[in-house]
Amino acid sequence: MFDNFRKDTINGIAYVMAGSGPPVLLLHGYPQSKALWAQVAPLLAQHYTVVAADLRGYGDSFKPDTTPDTATYSFRTMAQDQVALMAALGFERFHLVGHDRGARVAHRLALDHDCLLSLTLMDIIPTLLAYDKTDMAFAQTYWHWFFLTQPAPFPEKLIAADPDNFYQSSLLGWGAAKLSDFNPDMLADYRRAWHDPAMQHASCNDYRAAATIDLEHDRADLGRMVHCPTLIMYGANGAMGQMYDVPKTWADRCADITVCPIAGGHFFVDEHPQKVAIELLEFLSHV
């Protein structure tokens, strides 16, 4: 994967980079890694300088073990990681594309840092809204939001007993996908990453932070708008697309929205990488 891409780590954040032109940062979600972009990044790199990075706690990035300190895995802290990475690579301003947890980090980055040329949020609604409006449908579909936040080491021990069964249930359950929808090499990289006990623990801390300190940050920023051009992409057949009017949930948070539903479920990047790349290129070309 990522043939002809530079592979390196800066300040604990693992990344790959290739191409030339305006910089685009790609951030993956749970329970994946930067391998999510293996079929999208080469297409974008024909026109842009593309950086795909692992979030802290995931993939090949560092995984600090500070269970009592939820700020260590807050979206604010993870956003600062990525700003520092891009600055170290020489990019003070850049386009940002995030899927799932990566999109939540991206939204926080857009609020905390004036460095974005554009923002793409893939298949999420605002974190605070999701928690404040939780109903039976959301709780049953996104049950992992509540399981992973339980005190350590309860969820970690259950996950460690059979990581493949646990994480693949996420890919196939609320993802509305089949295992055959995932590229075998990319799936192998996801599996390699989630077999690491440090990733299992870190991903729980990610969700623990989201249910605590991230909500504090979001409440403090209610009423603040993202002003850069923003693309809202979502899986038309996925759980978010079925339960919510996804673009409407962002209408009071993003001032300049373009909407793009994609056929498929939550993991539409894996299912339809060429379609995703085409839509991203179309959006970026008009920013």
Give the model confidence (pLDDT) of 11-66 as tens digits: 999 999 999 999 999 999 999 999 999 999 999 999 999 999 999 999 999 999 87
**In which residue ranges of the chain is pLDDT below 50?**
none
Architecture of domain 6-285: 3-Layer(aba) Sandwich (3.40)
The predicted pLDDT at position 65 comes to: 84
User: Quick one: pLDDT at residue 170?
Assistant: 87
- Which of 241, 267, 251, 247 has its CA nearest to residue 259? 247
Q: Any idea where the domains of the chain sit in the sequence?
A: 6-285
Name the pairing type of β-strands 13-18 and 23-27: unpaired
> Nearest Cα to 37, choosing from 270, 238, 194?
270
pLDDT score at 172: 87
Active-site residue, 100 included: yes
Q: How far is 156 from 258, CA to CA, in rounded Å?
A: 39
**Distance spanning both ends of the chain, measured CA to CA:** 29
User: 107, 266, 270, 272: which is the annotated catalytic residue?
Assistant: 266
Residue 178: its pLDDT value, please? 87
The answer to whether 30 and 203 have CB atoms below 8 angstroms apart is: yes
81 is known as an active-site residue: no
pLDDT at position 70: 82
Among 60, 81, 100, 189, the active-site one is 100
229, 110 Cβ separation under 8 angstroms:
no
